[in-house]
Structure 1
């Protein structure tokens, strides 16, 4: 649990990252190009692997499209707890874990409900408005979990 209390809550409405989608498309294209190189694989095995790469790419594009149609809200309350809502699903009273990863270009939130599995939320700068990204980064950077000093990652 994070010890910092804030004057006002931070409301975020993340959207799917186009940066992440572009990265995944490029990665899949490179994988497909690697299969076109002279390898000792049979033509049938190459075809199966290429079909798997294409299926994976289509799955990622479909997930991006599906997620862009969803309503997602993250609220960092004044008492330090988090609420997370995706369409009709709601997870209240989540704790932010110290294993949360914070850099200028990537934030991975590790949230723990009272009873249940951890939630991992990946945020890139284009997932939030510039102001929301900056406020979240500042709060995460300078807030401290119990028993720890300030964060040292950049």
Structure 2
């Protein structure tokens, strides 16, 4: 809990699984300030969940991106379990949020498997997660009960 026991760390790890790699993107997508993002990324790197990888864009200085280590990738079941618990026990009257994933570069909505445009799928389900998700997907509590949904 000492390493991953804060909201910001859980959100940074979620973003890492979604494919976020750059410092600015972590800070923006998690909604925390740059000093807090720097501190959390440093902690996750020191703990061995993320590693810094140098990259350089033409005409720019060398910077570092962050990527999941094997130890970090093994954290996925924890995030999935927390999401499922939240869907089952902490969702409001509207129920759990829908979740979109990308299959073969075509965004698909998990409830209906229809191709999506923007953040609304063919069934009219509004997605709370942008279709930038590539390899991580989850099922809502309802889908888990009746066997629908996607693989993890």
Normalising by structure 1, report the TM-score.
0.24
Which structure shows the bigger proportion of residues in strand conformation? 1
Normalising by structure 2, report the TM-score.
0.24
In terms of Rg, which structure is larger? 1
